[in-house]
Structure 1
Amino acid sequence: MEIGSAVHSHVDPVLPPELERLIFEDCALSHPISIPTFMLVARRVKTWTEPLLFRTICVTDTPPSYTPNNFHHFTMDILLREIQKRPASFFESAVKHLFIGEIADFHSSQYIPGVQTLLATFRGITALFASCHHFQYLPVLEAVPLQTLAIDLNSLFAFGKTPLDFLHPVFRNVTHLQVLSGLSRPTKEWAGIKNMPQLTHFAFTNPNERQMVIPALLGCSQLECCVLLCPLGVNGAFWLPDDVRFVAMSRPDDCGDWLRGITTEDDYWKRAEAVIAARRAELR
């Protein structure tokens, strides 16, 4: 080697696996439609990003009105086929948020078994919106760690044959509860809502049933926010008590608003919280 000559070597930079995984997961979460492409990069990248494809699932006949970052839309048939391909443990850890909307063929023989299969397979979900109301949910939801729940209470409790039980394990971690229907229960059953250990947010949609639910909520010391979701143009404030925690607003598109809450935290809960914060500021 001549004196003064320099030896040049080119070595491709190598990222630590932990940092590489963080980068791919962040990209996948911010742009879910690209996940199938990321999965083709390398086997390890597929292992990291494939579960994120199923992190938030909306099961509806038509795509939701709000689809952040080209959000994936699933049908019941697609999901049932995917469930057959993979072990149940994959979905138990992958799926965190599940929206089951109205499906046109809910009278078909496949509908109820299909929904039951989804709920029995997605055992790790923390947020569930289930507008279907044709079977009892409790047997498949008892062990699910739900924190945000929107559901028909009549379906949850055997179509009125079983009293409301707010100490049931299905409610043990629920902080946000939206009742889609099924409020027509005896007032004494509603009194137990104060026993929900984590409840801070409650929403309902029928002003005519306020006489049953509001007295129970007024006795709920940990309640931070109660929202009456009214039809467009209806002034729901007329039916609410003079309490800063009670807010009335127009009912949004269910799936679109739910997706906003999951992906950007900009949903009706956040808007109601802003109203309550402004009221409290005025009282200072």
Structure 2
Amino acid sequence: MSLDFPVLPPELEREIFEEVATQWPETIPSLLLVSHRVYEWIEKIKYRTVTSTGELSTCSLATLRRAIQSNSKAPSFFHTHVRHLFVRRLFRGKETENMMLPEILRVCTGIQSLAFIRCGIPSSLLPTLATLRPRQLWMRIDSLVFETDLCRPMLTCVTHLALWDRVTSIHSDIAAWLSLLAMFPSLTHLMIIAAKPSLAPHILASSKKFKVLVTYSDISGKELDNADDRYVNIGVHKFAEQWLMGTRGGNNFWARAEAFIAKKRRGEIQPVWRYWIEDADGI
């Protein structure tokens, strides 16, 4: 008996469905209804990237919390499959929202990329955070300053750190800065929001382990005569979209900064002292 439609190998079929779910998360509810086998593939992706409202991601905090509370899956499922968490202004909302995050973080201990954008972190949450080992961390520095010993275990595996506040106006002491950064033994990529370029040489001179130092601001112009080639001013872009792009392996600001540095080292950036990205760079 011949079939009148093509049959794809299961491996290829799975790859197609997973790619669609990853690149277009809004299709996930429909994909879950296709078949039992597709449901098994896509459900794991559904909880991969979580944001406060679910916008542009695969899942919202409320949806994840309901799934955890349903006890339909073992905690190990969420430990394995929840990989990225983005929180914005969580603690300005309702009390029920304030209670979501501790419960979620106690179960989702395998998070690799953790972002707290434009919101403070209450001290009551720090013991729970200390159990995590993220690779990428995006937060306000004042959340760490007075609780560094408690948070130190969380910082050991961080390779990419973005500090979200006007840190130079709060902590202008370079020695204090370097002491703070020393608590990140694996750190190779650092982004400082709204920082002046004059801060970059002091940080980069302190360690050769840094591969990239980015300032995320609208500052441009020749403020440094001989900028270290590891320093890039990325300019202002939509931060949430950039973060989410990175979770999908896209060309986010980390990738763009690395591409700029590579071009600069090949002599493709002119003038040679320029440390900010321009549209003509094609990055």
**TM-score, normalised to structure 2's length?**
0.76
Q: Go from structure 1 to structure 2 and tell me whether the alpha carbon gap of 1:144 and 1:239 turns closer, same or farther (over 3 Å shift).
A: farther
Corresponding residue to 2:26 among 22, 33, 36: 33
Q: For 2:174 and 2:229, how far apart are their aligned partners in 1?
A: 23
Which structure 1 residue ranges, 5 or more long, are not aligned? 1-8
Is 1:118–2:111 an aligned residue pair?
A: no
1:170-207 Cα deviation digits (max 9, x unpaired) = 12221110011374345444334246332111011133
Could you say what secondary structure the match of 1:44 adopts? helix
- Tell me: higher relative CO, structure 1 or 2? Use CA pairs within 8 A at least 6 residues apart: 1
1:211-250 aligned within 5 A: 211=199, 215-230=202-217, 232=218, 234-235=219-220, 238=223, 242-250=227-235
Residue 161 of structure 2: aligned partner = 177
Corresponding residue to 2:131 among 125, 143, 146: 143
1:197-216 aligned within 5 A: 197-207=185-195, 211=199, 215-216=202-203
Which structure 2 residue ranges, 5 or more long, are not aligned? 273-283
Q: For 2:158 and 2:225, how far apart are their aligned partners in 1?
A: 24
Output the aligned Cα RMSD.
3.3
Q: For 1:199 and 1:265, how far apart are their aligned partners in 2?
A: 21
Greater Cα radius of gyration, structure 1 or 2: 1
Q: For 2:8 and 2:221, how far apart are their aligned partners in 1?
A: 56
Could you say what secondary structure the match of 2:223 adopts? helix
Q: For 1:241 and 1:138, how far apart are their aligned partners in 2?
A: 40
Q: For 2:177 and 2:38, how far apart are their aligned partners in 1?
A: 49
Q: Once the 2 structures are TM-superposed, how far is the Cα of residue 18 of structure 1 from its aligned partner?
A: 5.0
Q: Once the 2 structures are TM-superposed, how far is the Cα of residue 52 of structure 1 from its aligned partner?
A: 0.6
1:64-143 aligned within 5 A: 67=56, 71-72=57-58, 74=60, 76-85=61-70, 86-87=72-73, 88-103=75-90, 106=92, 108-131=94-117, 132-136=119-123, 137-143=125-131
Q: Go from structure 1 to structure 2 and tell me whether the alpha carbon gap of 1:14 and 1:235 turns closer, same or farther (over 3 Å shift).
A: closer
Identity of aligned residues (%): 29
Could you say what secondary structure the match of 1:223 adopts? coil
Corresponding residue to 1:48 among 2, 27, 41: 41
Q: Given that residues 52 and 94 in structure 1 are in contact (C-alpha distance below 8 angstroms), is that contact kept between their aligned partners in structure 2?
A: yes
Residue 5 of structure 1: aligned partner = none
Residue 279 of structure 2: aligned partner = none
Q: For 2:36 and 2:233, how far apart are their aligned partners in 1?
A: 50
Q: Given that residues 198 and 224 in structure 2 are in contact (C-alpha distance below 8 angstroms), is that contact kept between their aligned partners in structure 1?
A: yes
1:221-272 Cα deviation digits (max 9, x unpaired) = 1101101111x4x327627972111112323211111112222421111222
**TM-score, normalised to structure 1's length?**
0.76
Residue 246 of structure 2: aligned partner = 261
